[in-house]
Amino acid sequence: MERKLGFIFDHNKCILCNACVNACNRAYGNLNWRTLVVFPMEDVKTALSISCNHCDSPKCMEVCPANAIEMGEMGVVRIRQEACIGCGFCTWACPYEALKLNDKGVMTKCHFCYDVLIGGKGIPYCVDACPTGALAFGWVEKGETDVDYLPPYEITRPRIVVKPPEKGKVKAKILHQKKEENYLGLLAFTLGSEFTLGYALLKLPYWALVGFLLPLLTLLISVGHAKRANKFYRVVLNLRTSWLSREVLFSSLSLPFFLLSLLYPVLYYPAVAFLALGVASSVMIYMLKSRPSWYNVDTPVSFIGTAFSTTLPIAYLLGREPLLLPVLSLVLAVEVLSSYLAKKPFKARLSLNVASIILSFISLILPELIIAVEILNIVSEFSNRVGFYNKVLYYGLPKV
């Protein structure tokens, strides 16, 4: 097995002096690349010093749409700051909270004091500052993190060796909940593209104009998620591994086809195909093991369900086709079931979708009631998506 550089930490030698953290912050501007997590254990305390683990399977590098993260020959994972667009998707994929935005909107993290090592000027500042040898580094064949206070090893295969306390047991939580910041543009784009897909598939009135204008508008809104919008063009540079790159490319490719289909109806087919690939890519963006509240069946069901729950009522209102209503009811029922299986709060989803199902069948007699069904479905999808971003369950650094 190939050996690469990795950090080695021994709980039994750590005296909780914080010298490693202070040395890193002095050298790199108080960005807190390294953290000292303190754990009480009965009558004593212990601590874990941790930063970027330069993982063997760095998900941050995989998801980065701008190809701004790279792994060198020694296994050191670095960010090319001139290429970063500040979108923050790498932070979603990292279960160790290792990546930090600086005041210029550029992502940063530990780079193993690369310039110091390569230049033969010394060793990493954090290691050099540790007075007891608790924090060390060296050639590591495989990370050893057989402890229950770090995220599951298989997510990123971190190249760090942790020697647990010889006495006592560390008790800490690694699953946390938070609200995703700056998500409104993402919410608008996901809901907008999903609605457009269903609208185009059903060939509802002015589908070509809707297919061009709505994704274009919501895509422009979502650009604000990147801190460096002037470099947003780089978002499609990692088609090999980044679902974000694929989402933007496929969704963007659908736009000219929708527009040209006003003149050449046959272009409807590539337009819908590209948009469908864009929506599928949207689903995959969120299927991250580092975020269990997203990595479940409810994410694809919710995203695809939106395409039909918000457009089938319109189709029924315009065409009065009774067979559309059982299909709509099935979509709404599957959404409720998937929320339940994913162990998400689903009372609001249940109430809105059941009411929608009941009203949709009554609309067989009173067709105008389908308008109320459409309103209920929009509210259900919008509130569910807001909860999707507002209550994110994620793996992170241990907390007592």
**Are residues 160 and 270 located together in one domain of the fold?**
no
CA-angle at 157, arms to 152 and 158, nearest 5°: 95
64/85 same-domain check: yes
What is the structure's pLDDT at 398? 96
Q: Are residues 32 and 129 in the same domain?
A: yes
Mean pLDDT of the residues in the chain: 95
Residue among 310, 282, 293 nearest 379 (CA):
310
200, pLDDT greater than 90? yes
Tracing tokens 């269990």 back to the chain, one arrives at 292
pTM (two decimals): 0.94
Diameter of the chain by CA atoms?
Answer: 82
| Residue 398, domain member (yes or no) | no
Examine the fold and report which residue of 171, 198, 221 is the final residue of a domain before the chain moves on: 171
Q: Which two tokens stand for residue 54?
A: 């330069």
Dihedral angle of Cα 47, 52, 58, 61, to the nearest 10 degrees: 150
State the pLDDT at residue 1: 57
Last residue of a domain, one of 171, 202, 226: 171
In this structure, what CATH number is given to the domain that contains residue 119?
3.30.70.20
Instruction: Answer yes or no: do 249 and 128 share one domain.
Output: no
**pLDDT band for position 85 (cuts 50, 70, 90):** very high
Half-sphere exposure of 269 (CA within 13 A, CB side): 1
Token pair in block for residue 56: 């063997």
Domain count, the chain: 2
What is the span of the domain harbouring residue 335? 180-392
The β-bridge partners of 176 are 394
Q: Which residues pair with 137 in a beta bridge?
A: 7
Q: Which pLDDT tens digit goes with each residue over 210-247?
A: 999 999 999 999 988 889 988 999 999 999 999 999 99
Nearest to 195 by CA among 378, 352, 329: 378
Q: Which two tokens stand for residue 280?
A: 């599928």
Q: Is residue 399 part of a domain?
A: no
Of the residues 109, 136, 171, which one is the last residue of a structural domain?
171
How far is the C-alpha of 127 from the C-alpha of 14, rounded, in Å? 12
Q: Which of 175, 122, 179 is nearest to 149 (CA)?
A: 175
Q: Are residues 262 and 165 in the same domain?
A: no
CA distance 340 to 335: 9
Question: Is there a contact between 95 and 151 (Cβ–Cβ < 8 Å)?
Answer: yes
